[in-house]
Amino acid sequence: MSEKRQAPPTVRLRRLAAMLRRLRTAADLTREEVTERTGINGVTLYRIEKARARPQKRTLTALMEVYGASEAERSDLLAAERHSQDRSWLRPYHAGLSERYAAYIGFEAEARTVRAYEPSFVPGLLQTERYARAVIRGALHGAGPSEPGARVAALMERQAALGASPPLRLRAVLDEAAVRRVVGGRDVMREQAEHLLRIAEEPEICVQVIPFGAGAHTGMAGGFVHLDFPDPRDPELVYMDTPAGDLFLESEAETRQFRAAFERLRAVALAPRSSADLLAEVCRS
């Protein structure tokens, strides 16, 4: 019998975890000291602070007491706890996706800004359906039989956020290799380049290309996505799809590092208008 699939964390569960970590730090307490004072199991406390477990009400109450939380902080914590299991973004076909990719979809669904850098292919939010299918066929090795179809369905749904109200803000930087590599055939690539040209005209979308002539740059090590959220209490997040599996980075130092790296990539890339000229060239080729 297969193990029960663990539900991915939500933005609100991450907010709750981050608030509890900040309160513990402000109270100058170690996890071990909190365990001694409250009797809460150390492993349980670790899982709560890592957004891997939702605290029971009595556990949350005990933590608020030992941290000396103010009335406003208590109100925020209780609200985050009440909504920590809200998964309104889930769809039936998400069961065919890997746990971490499903988690990423949830985070992206609530993001304010997505900063995506890709060295080898067009970022998912900007892919046409034919291009997406070609990428998945060529790159998604070891996937279960339902995952390719589920990924395409999820991708098409994710793109609806670009036309929502308010729309998702997307800042995308691509290496020239991503638009020069022929994925799915020349017709598919021409359609993809034309789509990039059209969508880059939207006010909340910026597409830039790093030309081959730029030489070595920060992004040669691999792609990543940086997310921030409308509520400043929600910690920023970095997501990377690696050969070893999907990876999330959540510490303030890590997210700050990748946000700075993204700005360096934007500085190396062609300006949006010049990037459009390069894409137009790809359309003609």
The pair of three-digit structure tokens given for residue 34, joined into one six-digit string = 């909190």
pLDDT higher for 166 or 142?
Answer: 166
Phi, psi of 85 (to 5 degrees): -105, 10
Mean pLDDT of 70-80: 85
Angle between helices 42-49 and 31-38 (to 10 degrees): 120
Is residue 15 a part of any domain in this protein?
A: yes
pLDDT higher for 136 or 207?
Answer: 207
Q: What range defines the domain where residue 141 resides? A: 95-284
Nearby residues of 258 by Cβ (< 8 Å), 6 or more positions away: 224, 226, 238, 249
The answer, yes or no, to whether residue 227 has pLDDT greater than 90, is: yes
Mean pLDDT of 99-106: 78
Same domain, 273 and 147: yes
Is residue 256 a part of any domain in this protein?
A: yes
The answer, yes or no, to whether residue 6 has pLDDT greater than 60, is: no
pTM of the model: 0.76
Same domain, 181 and 270: yes
Same domain, 42 and 106: no
Is residue 88 a part of any domain in this protein?
A: no
Number of structural domains in the chain: 2
Mean pLDDT of 151-161: 85
The CATH number assigned to the domain holding 75 equals 1.10.260.40
Is residue 107 a part of any domain in this protein?
A: yes
The answer, yes or no, to whether residue 161 has pLDDT greater than 80, is: yes
Is residue 6 a part of any domain in this protein?
A: no
The per-residue pLDDT for 188 is 95
Same domain, 130 and 58: no
Question: C-alpha distances in angstroms, 133 versus 106, 129, 149, 188?
Answer: 22, 6, 8, 10
Same domain, 111 and 70: no
The per-residue pLDDT for 93 is 55
The CATH number assigned to the domain holding 261 equals 3.30.870.10
Is residue 142 a part of any domain in this protein?
A: yes
Least confident range of 4-13, 18-27, 223-232: 4-13
Same domain, 171 and 271: yes
Same domain, 32 and 118: no
Q: What is the rounded CA–CA span in Å between residue 62 and residue 45?
A: 12
